[in-house]
Amino acid sequence: MKRYAVAISVAIALAIGISAALRMRNAEAPPALAGEWKSWRSQFRIARQDDTYRIAISNPNGFLGGDYIGKLDGDTLDVTGPLAALCPRMTYVRDGDKLQFCGEEFDRVRAAASSPAIRNAKAGRS
């Protein structure tokens, strides 16, 4: 009976350890930043190439626009580009799936959030 109790205790401890290791591995996985992002006045398009991210920012009425290049360090992209001296980092916020850059917060653009013209084109309407 004592052997069974020890075996069960060891099995539970292993299960807890494996579960914790998997959670830590998933928490440390790099964020998927590629895609389109939008704030109240700017729009991003991010493409990933190996460990480099290329960011094209459209900001027709502001100073944030331009092309940036960044390397991911945890949840932060260290960028070079037009405003890199003023805003050298772009931060990914896991809780909420948002990007923060130069005082703006960007939301990921979902397919459902696309413009009516894009939705109509996808549906075969004009």
**What is the reported pLDDT for 68?**
95
How large is the average pLDDT for residues 12-32? 67
The answer on pLDDT for 87 being more than 60 is yes
**Are 112 and 64 found together in one domain?**
yes
Question: Is 44 in the same domain as 97?
Answer: yes
Q: Same domain for 26 and 83?
A: no
pLDDT single digits (tens) 110-125? 865 445 544 444 455 5
Q: Answer yes or no: do 10 and 42 share one domain.
A: no
Q: For residue 19, what are its two tokens?
A: 């579960």
For residue range 62-81, list pLDDT tens digits in order. 778 899 999 999 999 999 99
Distances (CA, A) of 78 to 10, 45, 68, 71, 89: 44, 16, 10, 5, 5
**Mean pLDDT confidence for 40-59:** 92
92 and 45 both lie in a single domain: yes
Alpha-carbon Rg for the chain, nearest whole angstrom, is 22
Both tokens assigned to 79: 């960028």
Residue 15, SS3 per DSSP:
helix
Same domain, 21 and 47: no
- Find the domain containing 3 and state its range: 1-30
Residues 41 and 63 in one domain: yes
Q: What is the mean pLDDT of the chain?
A: 81
- Considering the domain architecture, whether residues 25 and 41 belong to the same structural domain is answered as no
> Number of structural domains, the chain?
2
Q: What is the pTM of this model?
A: 0.64
